[in-house]
């Protein structure tokens, strides 16, 4: 019975034509471009199989071209409805290891045809069951009401064929089998290309699909003389479920914008339920009675560098080596050379991107990866040292590579060979043609660097006054001195990287080159010598103060500053003198106030004494003396109050004068 079911479903899928992969373009942002070609016969449909997670990109990018004329009537693809939802719509039960008798029992009343060799029995299903048998263990039977009117119990295991006579039910059973096959195919989805042409046509389909990023690795080989050789290898992965046989392969370097748009999953929009007013029953309306000429009123209303290299430690050489061992070692070193590569790629600019197209067809089996050479050229490079890590006393061996290949070099790891041996490793960023990069690949133990830091006090360089404010510009100078000790008997070229700090500028010097975050200075270091190199920087500080709020002492510091011109000093001196007079008047006013308070307290004491003496006889002389003292103090109080009032007026007049002077102050 299972064989019959599979044949029924297989017949429905035999008419799909295959389109083979002819071209593949891999990008650096996780997608690949595929081109397929094939022949589509009359009445055929081409089928493209994808993983369910690829469908969003395919539906976003798929194009179909008919070569030699003709037209495509449309595209169909498997729905993204979950398998459980599809099975729930069927009129019979589904599940693993479901007996046929159980399925037929749920289809009572359906027309069924069974064949037993040359005999055919047709009838309506009455029931079906699974029973235990003594000889065979279990037995499946079906009870039919035949077209002749007989009720017959038939053994399903003896039937050679079972078929539903209801065409709709037969189609539903085929859909069930197709759904189960789809569930076993790891969420595979198919896109069908239909054609209405009567003749055969060649068609081409192109699309984008998620793919692993292709990777690049390089080897930089320094010869004894001349420019070094740069080798480039591309590492690609075929994670699809079909072989790439003799495909045209291209690799693209760059970062185009790419994203996933949910096109495959059905999307539903919530809609409001709205009813017209006339759909409901009409309400009774009460009309107001007329009062005079106007009816009663009704109310209403409307309610978005430098990259670390691996450290390589050479194995210690033995104390003595035989001639044979030396000869073998020299021979091994002499044999080292760049790879013998057959580089057959064509590079071209593709807008903001760069494409490497392989001239020869490429074959990569499914589930396999390949390493393909895409570059082998001489490049301009010089060896030097670079110091950018303040936590280390040693600089790093580096190379300055100028990309004169005429092509874009995609970023990747770089292995360096120098003096016929492995020298270290580095990472190189993507480098456009004519651009250059510094790469460091080892630590130079023959050079030691120390640094000393000095900073002077802030010195005012400029003073300006306008609109009542005093603005000063001062500078702080900092000096960092590098001491470079070269213990090797050969001269070296050192690049010092110094951070470019916001607000700081170089003083009396110019950097060799500058990165977005650092200055670079080139220093020539003699052999077996010590060299010093100083970097001096300056930071300008601007400060603004209200002249009215400045104290005389603080203002006096500006008056005595040498950065001030004579005319400006005279203007500030006038304001300073007035401020000092204000201070003197304020102090005098405060002193008068203190004297008044002391006299007032003394008067209180005298009045208390007078009150006590008036109650005692014979104290007239003392009472008169206290009275005269009170009279003298009243005269002093009056004089002090007059003095305090005059000082207050003087202070107010001085403050008005200062305000007028400050308003006119400008230099």
pLDDT digits (tens, 9 = 90+) for 40-91: 777 778 888 888 888 888 988 999 888 766 667 778 887 766 556 556 666 6
- pLDDT value of position 215: 93
Q: In angstroms, how far is CA 303 from the centroid of its own chain?
A: 47
Find which of 20-29, 152-161, 585-594 is predicted with most confidence, using mean pLDDT.
20-29
Report helix, strand or coil for 150.
Answer: coil
Report helix, strand or coil for 437.
Answer: strand
Q: Are 385 and 429 in contact (CB under 8 A)?
A: no
Structure tokens that stand for 162 in this block: 């079972």
Tell whether 529 and 619 lie within a shared domain.
no
45-51 β-sheet, strand order: 16-18, 45-51, 188-195, 72-77
Q: Where is pLDDT greater, at 389 or 306?
A: 389
Tell whether 150 and 172 lie within a shared domain.
no
Q: What is the Cα–Cα distance from 280 to 270, expressed in whole angstroms?
A: 24
Q: Which of 139-153, 183-197, 376-390, 623-637 has the least mean pLDDT? A: 183-197
Asked if residue 325 belongs to a domain, the reply is: no
pLDDT at 33 over 60: yes
Confidence band (pLDDT; 50, 70, 90) for 142?
confident
Tell whether 199 and 241 lie within a shared domain.
no
Helices (H), 517-565: 552-559
Tell whether 530 and 625 lie within a shared domain.
no
Helix/strand number for the chain, H first, E second: 9, 35
Nearest to 397 by CA among 428, 440, 448: 440
- pLDDT value of position 230: 93
pLDDT at 283 over 60: no
Q: What's the whole-number mean pLDDT along residues 252-265? A: 78
Burial 623-661 (b: 16+ CB within 10 A, else e): eeebeeeeeeeeeeeeebeebbeebeebbeebbeebeeb
pLDDT at 12 over 60: no
- pLDDT value of position 324: 46
Q: Which of 176, 191, 210 is the last residue of a domain?
A: 210
How do strand 215-222 and strand 412-418 relate by DSSP bridges? Answer: parallel
Q: Count the neighbouring beta carbons within 10 Å of the beta carbon of residue 89.
A: 11
Q: What's the whole-number mean pLDDT along residues 347-366? A: 86
Tell whether 185 and 231 lie within a shared domain.
no
| Number of separate domains in the chain | 5
Q: What is the Cα–Cα distance from 507 to 530, expressed in whole angstroms?
A: 24
Asked if residue 331 belongs to a domain, the reply is: no
Q: Where is pLDDT greater, at 8 or 590?
A: 590
Q: What is the Cα–Cα distance from 667 to 663, expressed in whole angstroms?
A: 12
Q: What's the whole-number mean pLDDT along residues 378-406? A: 92
Report helix, strand or coil for 308.
Answer: coil
**Location of structure tokens 């239909």:** 194
Structure tokens that stand for 512 in this block: 């060799």
Q: Are 575 and 500 in contact (CB under 8 A)?
A: no
pLDDT at 333 over 50: no
Asked if residue 71 belongs to a domain, the reply is: yes
Asked if residue 332 belongs to a domain, the reply is: no
Confidence band (pLDDT; 50, 70, 90) for 581?
confident
Nearest to 496 by CA among 510, 482, 508, 485: 482
Tell whether 54 and 189 lie within a shared domain.
yes
Q: Which residues, at least 6 apart from 314, have a Cβ–Cβ distance to it below 8 Å?
A: none
Q: Are 441 and 416 in contact (CB under 8 A)?
A: yes
pLDDT at 281 over 60: no
Q: Which of 210, 225, 241 is the last residue of a domain?
A: 210
Q: What's the whole-number mean pLDDT along residues 82-110? A: 70
Asked if residue 43 belongs to a domain, the reply is: yes
pLDDT at 171 over 50: yes
pLDDT at 563 over 50: yes
3-state secondary structure 617-640: CCCHHHHHHHHHHHHHHHHHHHHH
Q: What are phi and psi of 503, to 5 degrees?
A: 90, -10
Q: Which of 193, 210, 227 is the last residue of a domain?
A: 210
Residue 191 burial (CB < 10 Å; 0-12/13-18/19+)? buried
- pLDDT value of position 84: 61
Tell whether 395 and 521 lie within a shared domain.
no
Q: Which of 4-18, 552-566, 586-600 has the least mean pLDDT? A: 4-18
Q: Which of 278-292, 295-309, 502-516 has the least mean pLDDT? A: 295-309
Q: What percent of the chain has pLDDT over 90?
A: 26
Q: What's the whole-number mean pLDDT along residues 95-119? A: 80
Confidence band (pLDDT; 50, 70, 90) for 312?
very low
Tell whether 502 and 367 lie within a shared domain.
no
Q: Tens digits of per-residue pLDDT, 412-461?
A: 999 999 988 999 999 998 889 899 889 999 999 999 999 999 888 777 77
Asked if residue 393 belongs to a domain, the reply is: yes
How much is the mean pLDDT over the chain? 80
Tell whether 577 and 625 lie within a shared domain.
yes
Tell whether 20 and 157 lie within a shared domain.
no
Find which of 71-75, 403-407, 495-499 is predicted with most confidence, using mean pLDDT.
495-499
User: Which residue range forms the structural domain that includes residue 359?
Assistant: 215-255+338-445
Q: What is the Cα–Cα distance from 443 to 385, expressed in whole angstroms?
A: 9
Q: In angstroms, how far is CA 376 from the centroid of its own chain?
A: 33
Structure tokens that stand for 219 in this block: 């080897």
Tell whether 586 and 645 lie within a shared domain.
yes
- pLDDT value of position 167: 82
Asked if residue 156 belongs to a domain, the reply is: yes
Q: Where is pLDDT greater, at 540 or 16?
A: 540
Q: What's the whole-number mean pLDDT along residues 540-564? A: 83
- pLDDT value of position 50: 87
- pLDDT value of position 542: 83
Asked if residue 298 belongs to a domain, the reply is: no
Tell whether 98 and 122 lie within a shared domain.
no
Residue 149 burial (CB < 10 Å; 0-12/13-18/19+)? exposed
pLDDT at 529 over 90: yes
Q: Which of 33-37, 186-190, 393-397 has the least mean pLDDT? A: 186-190
Q: Are 160 and 116 in contact (CB under 8 A)?
A: yes
């Amino acid at each position: 019975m299972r064989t019959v079911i599979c044949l029924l479903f297989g017949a429905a899928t035999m008419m799909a034509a295959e389109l083979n992969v002819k071209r593949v373009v891999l990008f650096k942002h996780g997608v690949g471009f595929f081109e397929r070609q094939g022949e589509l016969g009359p009445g055929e449909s081409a089928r493209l199989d994808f993983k369910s997670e690829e469908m969003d990109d395919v539906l976003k990018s798929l194009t179909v071209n008919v070569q030699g004329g003709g037209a495509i009537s449309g595209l169909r693809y498997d729905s993204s409805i979950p398998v459980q939802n599809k099975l729930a719509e069927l009129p019979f039960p589904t599940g693993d290891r479901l007996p046929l008798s159980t399925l037929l029992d749920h289809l009572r009343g359906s027309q069924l045809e069974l064949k037993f060799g040359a005999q055919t029995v047709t009838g309506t299903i009455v029931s079906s069951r699974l029973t235990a048998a003594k000889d065979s263990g279990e037995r499946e039977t079906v009870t039919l009401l035949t077209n002749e009117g007989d009720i017959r119990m038939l053994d399903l295991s003896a039937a050679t064929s079972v078929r539903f006579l209801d065409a709709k039910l037969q189609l539903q059973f085929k859909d069930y089998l197709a759904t189960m096959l789809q569930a076993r195919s790891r969420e595979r989805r198919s896109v069908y290309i239909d054609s209405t042409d009567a003749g055969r046509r060649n068609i081409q389909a192109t699309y984008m699909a998620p793919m692993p990023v292709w990777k690049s690795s390089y080897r930089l080989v320094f010869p004894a003389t001349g420019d070094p050789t740069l080798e480039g290898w591309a590492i690609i992965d075929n994670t699809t479920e079909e072989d790439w046989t003799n495909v045209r392969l291209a690799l693209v370097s760059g970062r185009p914008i790419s994203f996933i748009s949910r096109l495959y999953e059905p999307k539903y929009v919530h809609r409001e339920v709205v009813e017209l007013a006339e759909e409901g029953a009409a309400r009774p309306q009460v009309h107001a009675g007329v009062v005079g000429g106007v009816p009663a009123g009704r109310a209403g209303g409307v309610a978005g560098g430098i990259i670390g290299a691996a450290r390589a430690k050479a194995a210690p050489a033995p104390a003595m080596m035989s001639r044979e061992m030396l000869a073998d070692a020299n021979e091994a070193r002499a044999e080292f050379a760049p790879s013998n590569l057959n580089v057959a790629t064509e590079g071209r600019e593709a807008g903001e991107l760069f494409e490497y197209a392989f001239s020869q067809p490429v074959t990569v089996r499914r589930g396999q990866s390949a390493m393909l050479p895409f570059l082998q050229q001489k490049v301009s490079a010089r060896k030097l040292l670079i110091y950018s890590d303040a936590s280390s006393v040693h600089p790093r061996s580096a190379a300055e590579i100028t990309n004169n290949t005429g092509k874009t070099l995609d970023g990747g790891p770089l292995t360096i060979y120098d003096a016929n041996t492995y020298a270290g490793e580095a990472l190189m960023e993507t480098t456009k043609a004519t651009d250059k990069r510094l790469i460091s690949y080892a630590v130079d133990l023959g050079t030691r660097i120390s640094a000393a830091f000095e900073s002077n006090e802030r010195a005012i360089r400029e003073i300006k006054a306008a609109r009542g404010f005093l603005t000063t510009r001062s500078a702080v100078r900092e000096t960092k001195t590098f001491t470079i000790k070269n213990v090797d008997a050969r001269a070296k070229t050192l690049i010092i990287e110094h951070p470019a700090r916001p607000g700081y500028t170089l003083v009396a010097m110019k950097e060799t080159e500058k990165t977005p975050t650092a200055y670079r200075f080139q220093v020539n270091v003699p052999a077996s010598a010590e060299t010093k190199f100083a970097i001096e920087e300056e930071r300008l500080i601007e400060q603004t103060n209200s002249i009215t709020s400045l104290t005389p002492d603080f203002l006096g510091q500006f008056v005595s500053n040498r950065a001030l011109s004579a005319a400006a000093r005279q203007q500030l001196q006038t304001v300073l003198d007035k401020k000092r007079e204000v201070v003197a008047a304020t102090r005098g006013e405060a002193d008068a106030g203190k004297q008044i308070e002391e006299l007032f307290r003394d008067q209180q004491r005298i009045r208390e004494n007078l009150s006590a003496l008036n109650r005692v006889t014979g104290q007239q002389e003392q009472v008169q003396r206290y009275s005269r003292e009170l009279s003298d103090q009243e005269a002093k109080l009056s004089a002090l109050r007059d003095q305090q009032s005059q000082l207050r007026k003087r202070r107010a007049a001085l403050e008005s004068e200062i305000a007028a002077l400050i308003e006119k102050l400008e230099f």
